[in-house]
A and B are shown apart, each in its own frame.
Chain A
């Protein structure tokens, strides 16, 4: 087996040193009746070329997003990632190192995390950020727990513009932890009255912008309403690129900002691994979950970085920890950080403008199709359309014509009465031809009533 350096002679010598007659003597503590005394029911080992054949065959059964006109977002976004990013994250020293527990020989990772935290804080307009969470949905659920700790209350109000699966994750954890989770109805028009749902028991309101349907929301009045009742605003975003074009959570007085960082530096990966971003005010940092890299000096007085404030964490505080998170998304955070460094402020703003322009163009094309309504007024790179026929069937018909046209809302919210809505995203990876093709095909499908 190509990954196992020991050979039979090595093993014999080593057993002799150990003083064991055979390898099974080392497994003697396994109860005899429970030893697996037969081969595993798995095929034999494969050479590289065999593994490649097998997995390439599976991959070929999928339609790669880049091979078709592609307009799906809803929490994961297809952007162009410079080749440099993937090259750099495959450096052995980044890829195959562990959590930086020995800082003297992990300054590379630690400095990257310090830079990442600073970038995330700047992007979100917050004071501090942690070293990453698993993804946006789990970061959101952890933000709610943090708000509970800060306010000593146990009720969270979730906006109807929050990604339905984020709400599901928060409700799952909340239900298990005996918290009250109030889910406002799905709100395609961003017309809900969140302030009215906040009372003296509310620890936080959780509001996404751009929201699940693409609406840009003004969080400032919501923050004011929350603060007036002693509650906190948790601001959520699933498209980090939007922050190059729209006001940040920090500017709108959010107390905790969480989001999905996938869209900067990371591939779609069928949903993971992604990278959760988590930022807050400095005064709250001791209640934050996750790792934090901080600056210090070494014995020679040189600037150095180290994991710090670990008395919040599970390996020190055990059941009193702020979270159970241990492994997070280090390598995805590195990809995020490298891509953002390559973009810089100027590049991020231009990338955001290109995304917005693509979506505005596509929305304009849809507006010209009889029977199709663009519901979203203020948006970034994603918006919602209403179609005269059930959206799920339309999306399947589009797929049969080689177009991935977006998300039928009914897929994530099957019983919400929103079966005629499609959430559509257009990023810089879509070409004018792609967008024309989508609009023309949709118009044709609607004209022919879907009969093929």
Chain B
């Protein structure tokens, strides 16, 4: 992949990569930093990109690696950033969901984010994380069960 092709790809995916990073890291500066680092890593490794991969799978793999390492450094999880809830009416619900997501283990949270931001299929998710499709399914189901319980309370 040459430099120009890479910047086109980066432009196409920057928004979605940001959405995943923002929902995982929960603040704008960290999300931007994560996307920046992921794109730089992908750029440096663009020679090793193999076309048997979908570009999205590859970029999400690199981004997941950066975000997960960032989450490793964060214990305990930070307080939710105030004032990002959007309009007041759905703000409460969104804040609830953001809080409920904190209760979901990191691996499941990452799969949920990838699945819902860009609609990645089970197979794509399995490729991004290097896990089996069955593990993807059980992780997503477990994550959603935890969310449901947290939202009911």
**Bound together:** no
Chain A residues with a Cβ under 8 A of chain B = none
Chain B residues with a Cβ under 8 A of chain A = none
